[in-house]
Amino acid sequence: MNDTFAQIFPQVAIPTLLNAIPHGIAVVDRECKIVAINQTLEALTGVLLADVRGVYVDFVLRSNIARRGRTFRDVLASGDSQVIEGDIVSRDRRKIPMRFTISPLQDDSEELVGLVIVLDDLSEVVNPTGLGDESDISQSIIGQSPKMREVFELIPLMAHTEASVLITGETGTGKDKIAEAIHKRSSRSAKPFIKINCGALPEPLLESELFGYVKGAFTGAVKDKPGMFRLAQGGTLFLTEIGDMPLPLQVKLLSVLDDREFFPLGGEKKVQVDVRIIAATHRPLKERVEQGLFREDLYYRLNVLHLHLPPLRERETDIRFLINHFLRIFAERTGSSVKAFSDEALRVLMDYAFPGNIRELRNVVEYCVNMCQSQQIAANDLPKHLLTQPSSIPAPLDAQPLPESLPESKTTARETGRDWLSIEKDLIVDTLTQTRGNRSRAAALLGWGRTTLWRKLKTHGLVSPAEVSNEQG
Amino acid sequence: MKILLTVQENCIAPRFDQATEIIIAEYDGQRLLGEPRTIILPHRSAEELSDLIVKEGVECVICGGIEESYHNFFIWKKIAVIDGIIGDHADALQRYLAGQLLPGMVLPQ
């Protein structure tokens, strides 16, 4: 053994050793104050050892496990290592899931002198693709708004029953993801989740897809086909766009839901199935029932549990969050250096109604990431229709009607040549007149959040100076 | 203007979403107006704290680690955020008033 190396090892080699380990490491004394941190932890926290030597470890790690230092003091008191899962907030303001291994350090006389804390990044474990996308459904449904929080609370409840679920919401609101989340959390999660779009296939084809057929049932039926119901045996069948299902098939579906058995096309033997049904539609099913386009009995059979997904314009607090989420995903995917949207670009996005909801927002962000040549997405990197089209009043095609109708716009830009701002001002005044000054209802009618309406009221000089000063004070 | 600091004992709290105590100071551009108010929060909630910040009309938040979504929310609301601060909260406030507090600053212990 090289004697010189052995002598200098404690002084020279320990920092090198700590830096060679690809995990964040902190060494603290008996008072839980920093003695050393390695370069990985410096990179994660954004602080340098020279600046934080002697600082309480809580303030450096920014974890959710510290309990004001009690966690570390417990290990010091007991002398037993602890492994705890939690998270930290990194220098770039990301919450990163971590496994903290806290071990006591002893000197030569076995006296406890401090702790070593090793941080193991669990991002890849929690989210194997690193994109929060298809692999972990619950991770990919995002929202902090009160309306989405209500939805998140309902998902586990719905997962633990066997009743049919009807999910409604405009196109692009995430009905498929919610359906899959319910399945994944249910006792049927180990069994198949089969999705079929009832609006995409003509009636005969949809029937054969759903119920299957036997060989010789019709020309071209050269072998048995099991059908989606049998493929989903023990699992969940997700019928999307159920509102578009032809009436004759609705009868057959109702019969299967009641009896849990059916005849495949051309078959003489009944097939028994154990399948949970989740249906979804962007159409107002109740109205279609009244119009005779959807069977009332099937409507009630499917609508045992109902989940309505709010459109993005009713989730104002989520828009910013989703923009950042998709920006991070697409920047990672494309290896782009894009880091943020400019204030002006964000203003355009926040004022846009997103009739295509999250799908449209996602596509807009993807477009921007691909088009932007710098680190910041400017307004002119946005799709042109966002810039040329004013903050539009949403027209949710076939969606649930609003409780009151918007006042008929007396004028349009094309008719008068007026600019959008003046039309928008008239529209706001008309709507407020209709709601007798009630801003919440006016915002709902206009498809904006209250904050957006307030901003626009200020833009158009429609608020009193007293209100403005109250807001500032 | 109102300045809000998330605190833990005498220091800036390490994390915005874990803070249970805040201090709100009012500043008229030359001096502090009265004693800063200390508020104990009923529980840890970044959302409720954000609501409180908006409702109080706070113009600057001084805090430790904060998630990007909340940071962006404040910027959008035209509320300045000086985050990543490590150190004594009174010192942080004095430095802010003197125009010497920067994000990520580790104040002398």
Q: List all residues of chain A from 157 to 216 with a beta carbon under 8 Å from chain B.
A: none
Percent of chain A scoring above 90 in pLDDT: 25
Say if strands A276-281 and A236-240 run parallel, antiparallel, or are unpaired. parallel
Q: Inspect the interface and report whether the beta carbons of A346 and B76 lie closer than 8 Å.
A: yes
Instruction: Establish if A89 touches chain B: CB-CB under 8 angstroms.
Output: yes
Q: What is the pLDDT of residue A461?
A: 78
Handedness of CA A71, A77, A78, A80 (dihedral sign): positive
> What distance in Å separates residue B42's CA from the closest CA in chain A?
16
Instruction: Establish if A458 touches chain B: CB-CB under 8 angstroms.
Output: no
Q: Inspect the interface and report whether the beta carbons of A47 and B86 lie closer than 8 Å.
A: yes
Q: What is the pLDDT of residue A405?
A: 38
Instruction: Establish if A47 touches chain B: CB-CB under 8 angstroms.
Output: yes
User: Mean pLDDT for chain B?
Assistant: 92
Q: Which residues of A touch B64 (CB under 8 A)?
A: 59, 62, 89
Handedness of CA A408, A410, A416, A419 (dihedral sign): negative
Instruction: Establish if B83 touches chain A: CB-CB under 8 angstroms.
Output: yes
For residue A115, is pLDDT > 90?
yes
Q: Inspect the interface and report whether the beta carbons of A52 and B15 lie closer than 8 Å.
A: no
| Over residues A305-318, mean pLDDT | 88
Higher pLDDT, A380 or B3: B3
Given the candidates 3.30.365.10, 2.60.40.10, 1.10.10.60, 3.30.70.1140, the CATH classification of the domain at A419-472 is 1.10.10.60
For residue A392, is pLDDT > 50?
no
CATH class in words for A313-388: mainly alpha
Contacting residues for A435 by C-beta, under 8 A, at least 6 apart: A404, A441, A442, A445
- Chain B CA closest to residue A452: B77
Mutate to test the interface with B, among A55, A59, A87, A327 (most CBs of B within 10 A): A59
pLDDT digits (tens, 9 = 90+) for B13-23: 999 999 999 99
For residue A404, is pLDDT > 70?
no
| Over residues A418-441, mean pLDDT | 75
- Whether B14 maps to a domain, the answer reads no
CATH class in words for A137-308: alpha beta
Instruction: Establish if B68 touches chain A: CB-CB under 8 angstroms.
Output: yes
Q: Which residues of A touch B84 (CB under 8 A)?
A: 46, 91
pLDDT band per the 50, 70, 90 thresholds, residue A1: low
| Over residues A84-92, mean pLDDT | 87
Q: What is the pLDDT of residue A22?
A: 80
Percent of chain B scoring above 90 in pLDDT: 67
Q: What is the pLDDT of residue A468?
A: 63
**Burial per residue of A431-469, b for 16 or more beta-carbon CB atoms within 10 angstroms, e otherwise:** bbebbeeebebbbbbbbbbeebbbebbeeeeeeeeeeee
Which of B66, B73, B86 has the CB atom closest to A55's CB atom?
Answer: B86
- Chain A CA closest to residue B17: A64
- Whether B91 maps to a domain, the answer reads yes
Q: Inspect the interface and report whether the beta carbons of A55 and B104 lie closer than 8 Å.
A: no
| Over residues A93-97, mean pLDDT | 87
Mutate to test the interface with B, among A37, A57, A58, A467 (most CBs of B within 10 A): A58
CB A112 within 8 A of CB A76: yes
Q: Inspect the interface and report whether the beta carbons of B14 and A58 lie closer than 8 Å.
A: yes
Instruction: Establish if A146 touches chain B: CB-CB under 8 angstroms.
Output: no
Mutate to test the interface with A, among B28, B33, B86 (most CBs of A within 10 A): B86
- Whether B22 maps to a domain, the answer reads no
pLDDT digits (tens, 9 = 90+) for A166-225: 999 998 899 998 998 899 888 888 777 888 899 877 888 888 889 988 888 777 777 778
Q: What is the pLDDT of residue A309?
A: 93
CB A295 within 8 A of CB A289: yes
- Alpha-carbon distances, residue A36 vs A10, A51, A187, A197, B54 (angstroms): 13, 11, 48, 58, 39
Q: Which residues of A touch B16 (CB under 8 A)?
A: 89
Q: Which residues of B touch A95 (CB under 8 A)?
A: 67
- What single letter denotes the amino acid at residue A30? R
User: Mean pLDDT for chain A?
Assistant: 81
Report the alpha-carbon distance of residue A444 to residue A430 in Å, rounded. 14
Which of B11, B68, B76 has the CB atom closest to A94's CB atom?
Answer: B68
Q: Inspect the interface and report whether the beta carbons of B14 and A93 lie closer than 8 Å.
A: no
Say if strands A165-168 and A276-281 run parallel, antiparallel, or are unpaired. parallel
Instruction: Establish if B48 touches chain A: CB-CB under 8 angstroms.
Output: no
pLDDT band per the 50, 70, 90 thresholds, residue A102: very high
Domain at B59, CATH number = 3.40.120
- Chain A CA closest to residue B26: A473
Range name among A200-214, A280-294, A334-348, A393-407 with the lowest pLDDT average: A393-407
Instruction: Establish if A367 touches chain B: CB-CB under 8 angstroms.
Output: no
Higher pLDDT, A58 or A416: A58
Q: What is the pLDDT of residue A169?
A: 93
CATH class in words for A3-126: alpha beta
- Domain boundaries in chain A? 3-126, 137-308, 313-388, 419-472
pLDDT band per the 50, 70, 90 thresholds, residue B34: confident
For residue A361, is pLDDT > 50?
yes
Q: What is the pLDDT of residue A433?
A: 77
> What distance in Å separates residue B61's CA from the closest CA in chain A?
15
Instruction: Establish if A88 touches chain B: CB-CB under 8 angstroms.
Output: yes
Q: What are phi and psi of B42, to 5 degrees?
A: -65, -30
Residue B97's domain comprises 42-109
Report the alpha-carbon distance of residue A423 to residue A428 in Å, rounded. 9
Centre a 10 Å sphere on the Cβ of residue A124 and count the other Cβ atoms it contains.
Answer: 10
> What distance in Å separates residue A158's CA from the closest CA in chain B?
26
- Chain B CA closest to residue A325: B69
- Whether B6 maps to a domain, the answer reads no
pLDDT band per the 50, 70, 90 thresholds, residue A12: low
| Stated pTM of the model | 0.47
pLDDT digits (tens, 9 = 90+) for A23-72: 899 999 999 999 999 888 888 888 888 889 999 999 999 999 988 888 99
Q: Inspect the interface and report whether the beta carbons of B65 and A93 lie closer than 8 Å.
A: yes
Q: What is the pLDDT of residue B64?
A: 95
Centre a 10 Å sphere on the Cβ of residue A2 and count the other Cβ atoms it contains.
Answer: 8
Quote the number of domains for chain B: 1
Q: What is the pLDDT of residue A131?
A: 33
> What distance in Å separates residue B66's CA from the closest CA in chain A?
6
Query: A with B: how many residue pairs have Cβ under 8 Å apart?
Result: 72
